[in-house]
Structure 1
Amino acid sequence: MASLSAQACPCGRLGAANRPLGFAQCCGPYLDDFAGTPAPDAEALMRSRYSAFVLERPDYLLATWHASRRPAELAFDPGVKWLGLEVRQHRRLDETHAEVEFVARQKSPGMAAVRLHERSRFVREAGRWCYVDGDQL
């Protein structure tokens, strides 16, 4: 099996010729070097957070959650399979605020697949974008 860095990024971002970007060219640098490589915009942060859910990386998810809304800990439901991400809209509201509308699909063992359709809010502080919260659509 190929290493994770050589595989297609879980977030599904497409690059040249409409081909999936590899994890190492997409979300990998943000997840693997949080201190040195912040996501450049809210969409990239949202995509990297989706990848962190797929890869079960609570460290990254908590670090990128705004302190005002960050939970004390994060647990993953066993056996959840993430099926894909569709970014519908990315709006930069001003220099420090943005929104991303997305649909993420997942399936839990023994249950039908479900969709999470959300408009998420992000804020940029000290040069880093953070997830604040979102509204289910």
Structure 2
Amino acid sequence: MLTARCPCGSDKPLEQCCALYHRGLPAPTAEVLMRSRYSAYALGLIDYLRTTTLPAQQAGLDLQAISAWSLESSWLGLTVESAEEFDGQPAHARVTFTAHWRDAGGEHSHRECSAFVRAGNAWYFIDPTVELRASRNDPCPCASGQKFKKCCSAFF
């Protein structure tokens, strides 16, 4: 019996890799979260993409556009270039990667350095396409209890 390989490129079976996180296990690192989000795009798991985005940004996501891109594309692979975690309360991270896909317009790739924050035991993607209405002295949208300028502002 063949088992499906995980789309994230780990060479592990999906059920022993990203499916664990898609079913609710918190990703242990920002890189694992990013890989599981790529797999979610490949598998059409739009709810997972929403719930792993910073909660303060979830209402601003265009879920129809995300769903269309996910379902109308063939996901060709993921290359992770680097992953850096920054200690602190809360912890932050950056993951640089290139995602490859094919759609009606041909083959494409997108290189990005994504930002993440850990709140409690969960990592969240900080979506640069969703505007946050936070000024320097407002409470940080990650719910750390700190002011925005002392927490996530450097990652937006």
- Asked if these proteins are the same fold (TM beyond 0.5), I'd say yes
1:9 maps to what in 2?
6
1:47 aligns with 2:42: no
Secondary structure of 1:68 counterpart:
helix
Runs of 5+ unmatched residues, structure 1: 14-19
Which residue among 67, 74, 79 is the counterpart of 2:72? 79
> What is the CA-CA distance between 1:72 and the residue it aligns to?
4.5
Alignment match, 1:108: 103
Q: Which has the larger radius of gyration?
A: 2
The equivalent of 1:17 in structure 2 is: none
Stretches (4+) displaced over 4 A: none
Cα deviations by residue, 1:74-102 (Å, 9 ceiling, x for unpaired): 12225211110000000012241000000
Match of 2:19 among 13, 24, 28: 28
Among 55, 64, 83, the alignment partner of 2:52 is 64
> For 2:37, what is the secondary structure of its paired residue?
helix
Amino acid at match of 1:101: T
Q: Which has the higher helix share?
A: 2
Query: What code does the residue aligned with 2:79 have?
Result: E
Root-mean-square deviation (CA), in Å?
Answer: 1.8
- How many residues align? The count is 122
Stretch deviating more after TM superposition (90-99 or 70-79): 70-79
Q: Percent same amino acid among aligned pairs?
A: 38
Deviation at 1:59, TM superposition (A): 0.9
Separation in structure 2 between the aligned mates of residue 52 and residue 124 of structure 1, nearest angstrom: 19
TM-score by length of 1: 0.82
- Is the Cα contact below 8 Å between 1:82 and 1:107 reproduced in 2? yes
